[in-house]
Amino acid sequence: MPFIRLAATALLLGLAACGAPQPEPTAPDAPLPVTAAPATPTPEAAAQGAAASGELVAARVNGVAIAQADYERLLARSLQNSQAADRDALAATVLDMLIEQALIEQAAAEQGIVVTADMVEAEYQATRALVPDDAAWQRWLADNLYTEEEFRQSLRAALIAGLVRDRIVGSLPENVPQVHARHILVETEGEAMNVLARLQAGEDFGALAAALSRDVTTREQGGDLGWFADGELLEPALMQVAFSLQPGQIAGPVATRLGYHVVQVLERDARPVPEDRKPVLAQAAFERWLRGLLYNAVIERQ
């Protein structure tokens, strides 16, 4: 679930297509205090009003309507900028994006995070400055199916998501739980069961990894994955099993898209996170928080 997918994906793809530099929504390092409410109605209020007036609704998130027209507009924009062959899958993803954004905006309201009209305008002007003249800017908007107002709304959505993310991940501890593990990746479940049997018979884990593992990046190191925190491994199932083990314990087969893993935890500890790994952990923390919102939300897809 990439951060700020709703607004930023369409925005950045479109600007890349026109050859302009790719801007990123800005956000302060510290959580914002409560600010004055924007002069324009929020998307939640607009969506509720639209639904009450009889406009078609694509979904409801905790009772807040997502207008069908907004969904169709974003889907058209996404289809234009996507290479995806499966239109139905992309349509489902677009609706999920709108649902996530609705949850983020509801959380922002609860936490007193507000993006003002002045903040949106500043972001708009910074983006607009990347395009050489008015005619080119209007062509870009038209080519990417934006009106001026729609583009400002996409910037507003990205700004809100950025501020909420900063609020959520700003409280990450200095030391985080990590495990040091190694694994052996094989193609079939039967091969993994055979590896387990050989380990139980006393064969060396590192030697088996070097001989059998399909993971070319780790097998020469005996399958060593190094230290990692929750959210850092690309395979969530493997990470979940690793965090469930105590040092010395072995588990498997663990099925992932790569094959079947046998994993052993070597050490566990709360450790500092190097600076170059902090963005990954921050993103993982934000996504866990968002999954929690999705789990507890009342979502009605029409």
pTM of the model as a whole: 0.60
Whole-number pLDDT of residue 273? 78
Whole-number pLDDT of residue 246? 94
Whole-number pLDDT of residue 81? 74
Whole-number pLDDT of residue 282? 81
Q: Give 121-155 pLDDT, tens digit per residue.
A: 999 999 888 888 888 899 888 888 898 889 999 99
CATH architecture label of 5-171: Orthogonal Bundle (1.10)
Whole-number pLDDT of residue 9? 35
Q: Where in the chain is the domain with CATH 1.10.4030.10?
A: 5-171
Q: Where in the chain is the domain with CATH 3.10.50.40?
A: 175-272
Buried b (16+ CB within 10 A) or exposed e, 271-302: bebeeebeeebbbbbbbebbeebeeebeeeee
CATH number of 175-272: 3.30.70.1170, 3.90.950.10, 3.10.50.40, 3.30.1330.40? 3.10.50.40
| Under-50 pLDDT residues of the chain | 1-47, 49-51
Whole-number pLDDT of residue 53? 53
CA distances from 234 to 55, 168, 202, 267 (A): 41, 22, 30, 20
